[in-house]
């Protein structure tokens, strides 16, 4: 492998890794607060991509406007899912909400099949993202710079919200102890709704950029990236935003580099993440940065 290919692979890993990271943040935030694996998150990712597609092809919106609108619509959808399917189950055993989220996931996926049809669709890509540019003799796809940069901006925005605003303070309080947060006057339900909104917005952004990177839309396109992003969250330590970012990037690097160095293993690509997951859970179930509350008697 020469240097140019190596650099391309690094950029590809960064791109894939930041896409995983954005989705992983949504999983980790919801898990941190509600202890719920939100299976519907991967469908939110898929719908975000579809909304942009329809915005451009049906309403003829300019590309950036369609993207912002799609992110907003998807974020509201995420909040709606929480209100309808999870909120009534707050006091139920945790597994009930989990089953509900599996149900929502299948529901959204099949609604997408009904309305958008199962056939894969081509995605429009703006030319300035698609035409390779030459940097010191290395052909670089602008997209592989655009995706990590936009992801970084979004993550910084998130860090600002979580650590510098009152809502963020509420999120951190709830993730420590939801009961006490109620007592201390944290508007728990509103903060949870905001959390779902932010998580879904990031997932939508990731889904849209995923559709630019791998320009095909399919109702089942969210499933595999969703699982992998969840694994990234577990790997980084679920509940920790930094962990989710580290986990996502690590997973991106492992996937791209393993296939780059051992092309024979390409067919097993989708299994890497799951093997990593099982190894992590066996060696350090709390992940890199996670802390596990001990069982209370």
Q: Which of 25, 205, 234, 251 binds another protein (CB under 8 A)?
A: 234
Residue 185 touches another protein, criterion: CB under 8 A: no
Q: Which of 5, 59, 65, 110 binds another protein (CB under 8 A)?
A: 110
Q: Return all residues near 170 (Cβ < 8 A) that are at least 6 apart.
A: 181, 186, 187, 188, 191
How many H-runs (helices) and E-runs (strands) does the chain carry? 12, 4
Pairing label, strands 138-140, 216-217: unpaired
Burial of 147 (0-12, 13-18, 19+ CB in 10 A): buried
| Binding residue for another protein, selected from 65, 102, 135, 153, defined by CB under 8 A | 102
**Cα–Cα distance between 70 and 149 in angstroms, integer?**
19
**Cα 134 to Cα 156: distance, rounded to the nearest angstrom:** 29
Binding residue for another protein (CB under 8 A) from 59, 65, 68, 99? 99
Tell me how far apart the alpha carbons of residues 21 and 205 are, in angstroms, rounded to a whole number.
11
The nearer residue to another protein, 56 or 238, going by C-beta atoms, is: 238
Residues 6+ apart with CB under 8 A from 237: 243, 247, 286, 287, 288, 289, 290, 291
Q: How far is the CB of 297 from another protein (least distance, A)?
A: 5
Residue 282 is a binding residue for another protein (CB under 8 A): yes
Measured from the CB atom, is 8 or 42 closer to another protein? 42
Smaller CB separation from another protein, 214 or 274: 274
The answer for residues whose C-beta is within 8 angstroms of residue 269's C-beta and 6 or more apart is 255, 258, 259
Stretch that binds another protein, among 48-56, 107-115, 137-145, 190-198 (CB under 8 A): 107-115
| 230 part of the interface to another protein, by CB under 8 A | yes
Q: Does 178 bind another protein (CB under 8 A)?
A: no
Nearest distance from C-beta of residue 198 to another protein, angstroms:
22
User: What are the residues whose beta carbons fall under 8 Å from the beta carbon of 291, sequence distance 6 or more?
Assistant: 237, 239
Nearer to another protein, 188 or 277 (CB): 277
Binders of another protein among residues 24 to 63 (CB under 8 A) are 35, 37
Q: Indicate the residue among 6 and 274 with the shorter CB distance to another protein.
A: 274
92 binds another protein (CB under 8 A): yes
The reply to whether 10 sits near another protein by the rule CB under 8 A is no
Give the 3-state secondary structure of residue 90. coil
Cα-to-chain-centroid distance, residue 121: 21
Candidate list 5, 157, 271, 284; residue touching another protein; CB under 8 A: 271
| Phi–psi pair at 165, nearest 5 degrees | -115, 165
Q: Which residues bind another protein (CB under 8 A)?
A: 35, 37, 85, 88-89, 92, 94-96, 98-100, 102-107, 109-114, 117-118, 219, 223, 227, 230-231, 234, 267-268, 270-271, 273-275, 277-278, 281-282, 285, 295, 297
């Amino acid at each position: 492998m020469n240097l140019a290919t190596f650099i391309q692979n690094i950029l590809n890993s960064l791109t894939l890794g930041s896409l995983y990271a954005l989705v992983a943040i949504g999983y980790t935030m919801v898990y941190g607060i509600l202890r719920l694996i939100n299976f519907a998150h991967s469908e939110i990712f898929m719908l975000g991509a579809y909304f942009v597609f329809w915005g451009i092809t049906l309403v003829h919106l300019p590309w950036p406007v369609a993207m912002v609108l799609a992110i907003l619509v998807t974020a509201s959808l995420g909040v709606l899912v929480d209100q309808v399917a999870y909120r009534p189950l707050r006091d139920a055993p945790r597994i009930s909400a989990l089953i509900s989220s599996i149900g929502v996931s299948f529901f959204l996926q099949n609604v997408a099949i009904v309305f958008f049809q199962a056939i894969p669709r081509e995605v429009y890509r703006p030319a300035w993202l698609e035409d390779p540019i030459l940097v010191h003799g290395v052909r670089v796809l602008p997209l592989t710079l655009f995706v990590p940069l936009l992801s970084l901006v979004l993550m910084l925005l998130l860090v600002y919200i979580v650590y510098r605003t009152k809502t963020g303070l509420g999120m951190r309080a709830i993730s420590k102890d939801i009961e006490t947060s109620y007592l201390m006057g944290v508007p728990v339900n509103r903060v949870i709704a905001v959390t779902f909104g932010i998580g879904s917005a990031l997932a939508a952004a990731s889904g849209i950029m995923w559709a630019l990177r791998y320009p095909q839309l399919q109702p089942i396109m969210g499933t595999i990236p969703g699982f992998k992003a969840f694994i990234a969250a577990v790997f980084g330590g679920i509940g920790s935003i930094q962990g989710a970012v580290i986990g996502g990037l690590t997973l991106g690097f492992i996937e791209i580099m393993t296939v780059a160095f051992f092309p024979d293993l390409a067919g097993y690509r989708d299994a890497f993440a799951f093997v990593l997951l099982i190894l992590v859970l066996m060696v350090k179930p709390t992940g890199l940065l996670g802390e596990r509350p001990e069982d209370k008697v």
